[in-house]
């Protein structure tokens, strides 16, 4: 599994995927794999009131990546508390939430995805 951003024919990069580019309205047709890229924490917070199945405390960050001169931001869980400006990389996680917690059937959705870890820890 890769951590993909999406690019339109005009070179605009977004995450998550959109049917059309929010910048120019063109269809997004290409993917950009950010799995091995280093991003920077723009801002972060810690949530202590989390949805069912999400670990407490839940550290969240807005991560900025530079993709060939285009900036793209992603919101995601952090593996640990960090400071703004920290270099981070995506780290695959089989379960971002506990599939047995909450009201949805575990088989009805995917539970894996990416968290962000400090680059020296990844």
Q: What is the pLDDT along the chain (122 residues), one digit of tens a residue?
A: 789 999 999 999 999 988 899 999 999 889 999 999 999 999 999 999 887 777 789 899 999 999 988 899 999 999 999 999 999 999 998 877 666 666 666 566 666 789 999 998 65
Contacts of 96 (CB under 8 A, 6+ apart): 54, 77, 111, 112, 113, 115
Q: How many domains does the chain have?
A: 1
Tokens 């870890």 belong to residue: 117
Ramachandran bin of 91, using left for φ above 0, alpha for ψ from -120 to 50, beta for the remaining angles? beta
Give how far Cα 17 sits from Cα of 22, 46, 97, Å: 10, 25, 21
pLDDT for position 37: 95
Domain that holds residue 62: 4-118
Q: Is the peptide bond before 57 cis (omega within 30 degrees of 0)?
A: yes
DSSP structure class, residue 89: E
Tokens 């020296």 belong to residue: 120
């Amino acid at each position: 599994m890769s951590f993909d951003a999406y690019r339109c024919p005009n070179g605009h990069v977004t995450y998550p995927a959109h049917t059309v580019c929010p910048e120019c309205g063109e269809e997004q047709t290409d993917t950009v794999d950010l799995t091995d890229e280093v991003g920077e924490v723009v801002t972060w917070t810690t949530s202590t009131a989390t949805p069912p199945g999400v670990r407490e405390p839940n550290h969240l960050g807005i991560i900025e990546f530079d993709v060939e001169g285009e900036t793209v931001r992603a919101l995601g869980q952090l593996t640990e508390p960090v400071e703004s400006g920290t270099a981070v990389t995506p780290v695959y996680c089989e379960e971002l939430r506990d599939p047995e917690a909450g009201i949805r059937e575990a088989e009805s959705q995917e539970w894996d995805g990416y968290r962000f870890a400090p680059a020296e820890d990844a």
